[in-house]
Amino acid sequence: MQSYVRVLLKKYIIFFKCFFYESKILRISKTRYKYHPPVDSQRIVWNILIMVGQNQFDNGNSHRIFMNDDAELYENSNSIQRQDAADTLNEYSSRLNWKETGESILDIGCGDGSVTDILRSYLPKSRKILLGCDISERMVKHAEGRYGNKTTAFTVLNIEDDIPDELKGKFDHVFSFYALHWMQNQEKGFTNIHNLMRDDGECLLTFLAYSPIYSMFEGLKDTPKWTAWLKDINLFLSPYHDCMEPDRVIEKLFKKIGFRFIDVRSRQKKFVYNKISDFKNTVLAISPFKIPEHMLEEFWDDLVEVGVGMRIIDKKNDTVNLIYNLLIVHSRK
């Protein structure tokens, strides 16, 4: 696949170099892409990225486990993600180093685009481009239609796949909120982030370590009724779910990759759902398990009983109390 992507890249690079200043290319660009940001030298890179990203989706990832890609359900159920993104940006935005000449910014795992929209409000108005990427084509289409504009674009990209050389060192800032715990190859994903950053580039990343939602699913995985449906549960759990010191593990990995100024925090967080039905929507929005529709209610009822036993779910008061650990990484290249 890597060789195929590189051949595709060379083809488009030659194409753009030969015809960049001709109006024909502008017409092709307008019909090929749904968003129409200003054309400049950076825009060529973004257009190539979109082509390569789409190729990643079409030709790979069949072996991976994906979060539910119902974008509208996720948009209406990602209150934790939005809250923690805003909290993190409120705390860290003043610590970030911004250039006066405008920046290229990447948001990895943009999902439906609602968190990218929150991120956008914290960015300098002088930025060149904010590019959101996600492994799900359905999510990207939703995000592009809802939040895309002249300086904000979205594309399909898997951060665990090989990153083309032409894209390395192109981003001044890389952000990611609630996505990187899905990576099966953590070192490959973080290495790709490092390679995408410019020299002196900066990243701010949040992802889950421990979550009681994982534990609830684990409570059902060995039951005869659900074991077949939850057989891939280890691909769903955060790699740091059972880790006692995930911050030290991440710091060691970032040093190995070559990051500098590595600040890793493991924060205990609490979130309260005032309705169990809201929590249900959150769980269904992130669950990657292909439970048949006629069994979903039964599955949910059994999952609730696990939550009650863990004292997470309070049926009497119709509330859910989640206490979880969130990893926050601030680093530079």
Cα–Cα distance between 110 and 156 in angstroms, integer? 10
DSSP character string of 172-202: EEEEEES-GGG-SSHHHHHHHHHHHEEEEEE
Residues 6 or more apart whose CB falls under 8 angstroms from that of 71 comprise 111, 112, 136, 138, 139, 141, 142, 143
Q: Give the pLDDT of residue 50.
A: 52
Q: Give the pLDDT of residue 66.
A: 47
| Segments of the chain with pLDDT less than 70 | 1-77
Residues 6 or more apart whose CB falls under 8 angstroms from that of 28 comprise none
Amino acid at 34: K
DSSP letter assigned to residue 39: P
Q: Is 129 exposed, middle or buried (0-12, 13-18, 19+ CB in 10 A)?
A: buried
User: How large is the angle between the packed helices 41-59 and 2-19, nearest 10 degrees?
Assistant: 150
H helices, E strands: number in the chain: 12, 8
- Contact (CB, 8 A) for 95 and 330: yes
Residue of 196, 162, 147, 200 lying closest to 45 (CA atoms) = 196
Q: Give the pLDDT of residue 123.
A: 94
Distance of CA 241 to the CA centre of its chain: 18
Q: Give the pLDDT of residue 65.
A: 42
pTM of the complete model beyond 0.75: yes
Q: Give the pLDDT of residue 193.
A: 98
**Residues 29-62 pLDDT 10s:** 333 333 334 334 345 445 545 554 445 444 444 3
- Residue count of the chain, please give it: 333
Cα–Cα distance between 126 and 27 in angstroms, integer? 27
Cα–Cα distance between 298 and 32 in angstroms, integer? 45
Three-class SS state of 219: coil
Q: Give the pLDDT of residue 77.
A: 67
Q: Give the pLDDT of residue 19.
A: 32
What are the domain boundaries of the chain?
A: 2-332
Residue of 1, 94, 12, 80 lying closest to 45 (CA atoms) = 12
Q: Give the pLDDT of residue 69.
A: 61
Plot region of 272 (φ>0 → left; ψ -120 to 50 → alpha; else → beta)? beta
Q: Give the pLDDT of residue 125.
A: 86
Question: Tokens 């789409």 appear where?
Answer: 54
Q: Give the CATH architecture of domain 2-332.
A: 3-Layer(aba) Sandwich (3.40)
- Contact (CB, 8 A) for 184 and 160: yes
Beta strands of the chain (E only): which ranges?
104-108, 129-134, 152-156, 171-177, 197-208, 260-273, 313-314, 319-332
